[in-house]
Amino acid sequence: MSRSYYRPLVRFDAPEPEGHSLPVAGGPGWFDQAVKYDRGQAPRTVPLEAVPQEWRDRISAPRAPVAGVAMDRCRVMGILNVTPDSFSDGGQYQSSAAALNHARALVKKGADILDVGGESTRPGARTVPREAEIARVEPVIRAIASEIAAPVSIDTRKSVVAEAAVDAGARLVNDISGFVYDPMLARFCTERNLPVCVMHMMGEPETMQDDPKFEDVLLDVYDFLERQILKLEDLGMPRSNIVVDPGIGFGKLMHHNLALLANVSLYHGLGCPILVGASRKGFVGKLTGVEKAAERMPGSVACALAVAAQGVQIVRVHDVAETAQALTMLRAIQGRGKT
């Protein structure tokens, strides 16, 4: 049986009178029109009245705080890789002292959440043994959590790594496999009542860029995220504990990434906060001609602004200060800055 999908056309100017518009995720954005998608048909714009009630309810419902961070505006998740081989900053923050100093700097620059990862998931990367991953992340998270108030997210696919990280002070589990890789991870997070991020990835990091294909990237990613949300709910996890991530760059080609960024508001229909991580990724370099990942800040900030303008709640970035400044300006231009 075919189904329809609805992407709210998010606006931030003065809303229509009550009853003619709805907020997006309980935030400052609102919509009175949506784009309707049906597989095999051209998308078309429809008025609010044509959007089914269940979609209206999920799109408009306020999002619960994530690890204590309110989802009332676009928040910045600062990337802290404690790996020797990450594509942009591998090897820079492997020691606890260097990682803690960088964490302090990220929070000072405007990071609301710190995402610590001990396994590179760049295209072609091989799986890291769990013991090695724990040895990388556990002392770093313990040091950060003992000093810094901002919540720490553990970026891992493995339940044993998540357990060590949470025991050390992590408060959010960010799984790039969308809780497919390790079946025990979802159970652990449910038992501990932890917020989680469910990401879409095509295949494994080692092979994910080997000619990925979709019937319709927007709708295929939506269906995957929805299935994983329902599986987590079946285990007893409340939807209020779930963040979704369309997985920019993870088993996607250039046109897939651009389609997801341009239409990411579709995923408000899942009723969860949306996280987007496009920072310094390869497609940014290909589009702009910037070979070195560390020099892709302007293109990365452009991606963050594009999704923030669609009501996305979290952007995962390397360049925290630049992104936070850009988001402050965006809010002011939209009429939401302090006066």
Which residues form the catalytic set?
281, 316
Residue of 260, 179, 175, 182 whose CA lies nearest to 217? 260
Report CA-CA distances (Å) from 83 to 76, 86, 124, 334. 21, 6, 15, 38
161 neighbors 127 (Cβ within 8 angstroms): no
Provide the β-strand partners of residue 23.
30
Neighbours of 40 (CB within 10 A): 7
Residue of 197, 186, 188 whose CA lies nearest to 167? 188
Distance, in Å, from the CA atom of 192 to the CA atom of 176, rounded to the nearest integer, reads 19
Which helix (DSSP H) or strand (DSSP E) does residue 114 occupy? strand 113-117
Q: Which burial class, exposed, middle or buried, applies to 125 when counting CB atoms under 10 A from its CB (0-12, 13-18, 19+)?
A: middle
Kindly give, in sequence order, each residue whose CB lies less than 8 Å from that of residue 143, ignoring residues fewer than 6 positions away: 96, 99, 100
Q: Scanning the structure block, which residue is given the tokens 């990942």?
A: 293
Cα-Cα-Cα-Cα dihedral sign, residues 168, 174, 175, 179: positive
Provide the β-strand partners of residue 35.
7, 45
229 neighbors 198 (Cβ within 8 angstroms): yes
Distance, in Å, from the CA atom of 183 to the CA atom of 217, rounded to the nearest integer, reads 25
Q: Which amino acid does the sequence have at 98?
A: A
